[in-house]
Amino acid sequence: MWYIVFIESKKNLLLQYLFIPDRTMPSKNLKKILFVEPSKVIQKKLALSVANESFEFRAVKNADQALVEIIRWHPDILISSIEVGNISGFDLCLIIRMMPDFAGMPIILFSSSDPQNTSRKAEDVGADYYVQKDEKGIASLNRIITDILHGPQASVQSSYEKRPIRTVLLVDDSVTMRKIIRNILIGIGITRVLEANDGMEGLQLIKTEAIDLVISDWSMPRMNGLEMIKKIRTNSQFDTIPIVMVTAEVEEEIEKAMHLGVDDYLRKPFNLLDMKKMIAKFTECATEQ
Amino acid sequence: MKAEYLNPFLHAAKSVIETMAHLPVRVKALSLKENKTTYGVITGIIGLASETITGTMVISFSEPCILQIVANMTGEPGKTRIDAEVVDAVGELTNMISGGAKNQLAKMKMKFDLSLPTTIVGKNIAIGYRANTPIIVIPFMTASGEFVVEANLALRA
């Protein structure tokens, strides 16, 4: 929705009109779509491809501008190229998935890179769809947007009701490791981090607190991580809580643990980005419950 | 001793310190240890055994080095002395390094059992190395000082 502003000059009544987007009265009916794409030509192609009277578009060149628009304009769908300057489309996607108000926003990533690797990575960072940056891919956007808006499981309304991770239970006997992980969690906006020194303490907290994600070590005194996870999974009340194992165990052993109710794992040593990616995966998962 | 047993520990040590503490690490020339006491102010020890090999891996840190590593890992201001948290961190680092090495060795179809790490605080403290088995010292240099990995491995009789 737009409105016209008249500017009055003292010398003569000069009528100018400037189009200023109305931020105070967001349109109720139009669905807002934000494009992130550095090339004007492709921006135009995208707009033409999805042009529809019930959509409203904006296009920005890079991820920085996209974040500003997301916060100010609240788009319903984000369509981003992966190659968009310093912050890539992947990183943009990860960042959005960690923003409590926007974590459920449907995101479509597109790229001209090798589809096999890129689509896998797009999925890893929490994108809902991945399309190739070619005529066929761009042409498929219309159908994807319709799926997002009217599909049985993916209406925009329900996506926004998704709840991001608020409380994480951290189970590790090492004070240092708990501190490292807690600082990463706080850094990405998860402020409620409950800590347990072993599986017994972990189980106790699961029973008394509303936990959205469990991050657990394997090797611990009294009750190790695997025993704790087996106990959590036998209780139907808790069997949907996502559990991530963070361990220095060999991969072969961890794979076995995956059959016992571990949703994913992170091998030690890990860096900040590894942990962020892991959390981003489960922000989606947790919110689907 | 075959390098194939040693290399996984070197790679793991370098990777753990560089990943967890964001501290670039440079490997220096190997030597044989002449005494049987701890090199640094804090030392982690892990026993390991396979069907053919048995022995001990040791990782020992100079004070400035471990204090910097712990500060970088936790993202908190550096400590001025070794305390319970530093001891905990060395246990965790030793665990990660031996886990990393075990993972590499498993990929080479060599299965090792590892003991839980033990941490010793203090310099020049005697370690029960195996008799008549060379102790190979691999020094690592960081911008904040040195740490060493020592391997005392023997073929099973």
- At residue B122, the pLDDT reads 96
Q: For residue A98, give every residue at least 6 positions away whose Cβ sits within 8 Å of its Cβ, in sequence order, or none.
A: A164, A188, A189, A276, A279, A280, A283
Average pLDDT over residues A221-248: 90
Task: Convert the pLDDT of each residue in A173-194 to its tens digit.
Answer: 999 999 999 988 888 888 899 9
The ipTM is: 0.87
Tokens of A126: 């929490």
* Topology agreement, domain A2-161 and domain A167-287: yes
* pLDDT at residue A115 greater than cutoff 80: no
Share of chain A above pLDDT 90, in %: 26
Q: Which CATH architecture has domain A167-287?
A: 3-Layer(aba) Sandwich (3.40)
Task: With beta carbons less than 8 A apart as the criterion, state whether B28 and A280 touch.
Answer: no
Query: What pLDDT does A158 receive?
Result: 33
Whether residue A116 has pLDDT greater than 80: no
Categorize the per-residue pLDDT at A46 as very low, low, confident or very high, splitting at 50, 70 and 90. Answer: confident
Across the interface, whether the CB atoms of B88 and A249 are under 8 A apart is answered: no
CA distance A179 to A173: 11
Q: Which residue has the tokens 């009277």?
A: A53
Q: Which two tokens stand for residue B124?
A: 């020049």
Helices (H), A87-224: 89-97, 115-124, 135-139, 141-150, 156-161, 175-187, 199-208
Q: Are B55 and B1 in contact (CB under 8 A)?
A: no
CA distance, residue A267 to nearest chain B CA (Å): 9
C-alpha distance from residue A158 to each of A29, A123, A143, A153 (Å): 16, 20, 19, 8
Q: Does B19 touch chain A (CB under 8 A)?
A: yes
Query: Are B73 and A176 in contact (CB < 8 Å)?
Result: yes
**Does pLDDT of A121 surpass 50?**
yes
pLDDT band at A245 (very low <50, low <70, confident <90, very high): very high
pLDDT at position A283 over 80:
no
Please report the domains of chain B, with CATH numbers, ordered by start residue: 3-155 (3.40.1550.10)
User: Cβ–Cβ of A269/B70 closer than 8 Å?
Assistant: no
Secondary structure string (H, E, C) spanning A26-72: CCCCCEEEEEECCCHHHHHHHHHHHCCCCEEEEEECCHHHHHHHHHH
Evaluate whether B5 touches B91 at the Cβ level (below 8 Å): no
User: Exposed/middle/buried for B79, CB within 10 Å: 0-12, 13-18, 19+?
Assistant: middle
Please report, rounded to a whole number, the percentage of residues in chain A having pLDDT higher than 70.
Answer: 83
Provide, as residue numbers in chain A, all residues whose Cβ is less than 8 Å from the Cβ of B106.
Answer: 250-252
Mutate which: A172, A250, A267, vs B, most B CBs within 10 A = A250
Tell me the C-alpha distance between A125 and B144, whole Å.
35
Mean pLDDT, residues B105-123: 88
B16, B74, B92 ranked by CB distance to A183: nearest: B74
**Residue A136 exposed, middle or buried by CB count within 10 Å (0-12, 13-18, 19+):** exposed
Of residues A198, A171, A37, the one with CA closest to residue A111: A37
User: How do the domains of chain A map onto residue ranges?
Assistant: 2-161, 167-287
Residue of B nearest to A268 (CA): B96
Q: Quick one: fold of A2-161?
A: Rossmann fold (3.40.50)
The 10s digit of each residue's pLDDT in B42-83 is: 999 999 898 888 889 999 999 999 999 999 999 888 899 999
Q: What tens digit of pLDDT does each residue of A182-226 get?
A: 988 888 888 899 999 999 999 999 999 999 999 999 989 899 999
Chain B residues in contact with A217 (beta carbon < 8 A): none
Q: Strands A18-21 and A55-60, how do they pair?
A: unpaired
**Rounded mean pLDDT of chain A?**
78
Q: How confident is the model at residue B1 (pLDDT cuts 50, 70, 90)?
A: low
Mean local confidence (pLDDT), A149-176? 65
What is the distance between the alpha carbons of residues B86 and B74, in angstroms, rounded to a whole number? 11
Residues of chain A in Cβ contact (below 8 Å) with chain B? 174-177, 179-180, 183, 219, 247-252, 267-271
Q: Alpha-carbon distance A154 to B82, whole Å? A: 54
Which residues of chain A make contact with B15, given a CB cutoff of 8 A?
Answer: 269
Predicted TM-score (pTM) of this structure: 0.62
